[in-house]
Amino acid sequence: MKNRFSPRLLVAAVSLSLGLAATAFAMPRDGDSCTPGAGMHEQRMDHGMKGMSRLHDDLKLDAKQEALWQNAEKATKDNMSSLHERFQKQREETQAMLNQPGADLRAVLKRMDDLKAEGQKQHEANRDRWLTVYDALDAGQKEKARLFFKAMLEHNDHHGKRGPGRG
């Protein structure tokens, strides 16, 4: 029986599949708070920021707490914007690299991994800034924050976003 697919065609298909899968893997997922993707994820981010605004109003922060909040909020927005731009640029560069015959998939995947690691570092820095805000809250404010995040998680579970193993 004659093989209908040439080895060259199979290698090209596998290479393209790996490149697309790696790009999808490197792009932000719905649960990543500091790395917005496109479309629905950005809408959820906007919704989350509106929720944070309601929490902000409910907490009735003092001057010191307000300064910490503003610092964390500005840094988060700046990081989200810059990381989104870098992901878009990397996507374009990846596509250009994969359009070249003989593209080195190891080099492509290494660049994706590097950007993903950078995004993780920014995510952790943002989380630490917000935890600094949390640490400055009094007991009543911390309880309001706890209830806010509990409601967010329940809302996400209700809408099918159940965390890391959701497929």
Spatial distance between the Cα atoms of 146 and 144, rounded to a whole number of angstroms: 5
Tell me which amino acid residue 43 is: Q
CA distances, 34 to each of 10, 22, 28, 45, 117 (Å): 37, 20, 9, 9, 13
| The pLDDT value given to residue 2 | 53
End-to-end CA distance of the chain: 38
The 10s digit of each residue's pLDDT in 21-32 is: 444 434 444 444
Structure-block tokens of residue 36: 């917005």
Short-list 115, 110, 111, 108, CA closest to 15: 108
Burial 46-66 (b: 16+ CB within 10 A, else e): eeeeeebeebbeebebeeebe
CA atoms within 13 A on the CB side of 78: 8
Q: SS3 of 28, please?
A: coil
Residues in the chain, overall count: 167
pTM (2 decimals)? 0.61
Per-residue pLDDT of the chain (167 residues; tens, 9 = 90+): 455 555 565 555 554 444 444 444 344 444 444 444 445 445 555 555 677 888 899 999 999 999 999 999 999 888 888 888 888 998 898 889 889 998 888 988 898 898 889 888 988 999 999 999 999 999 999 999 999 989 888 887 766 554 454 44
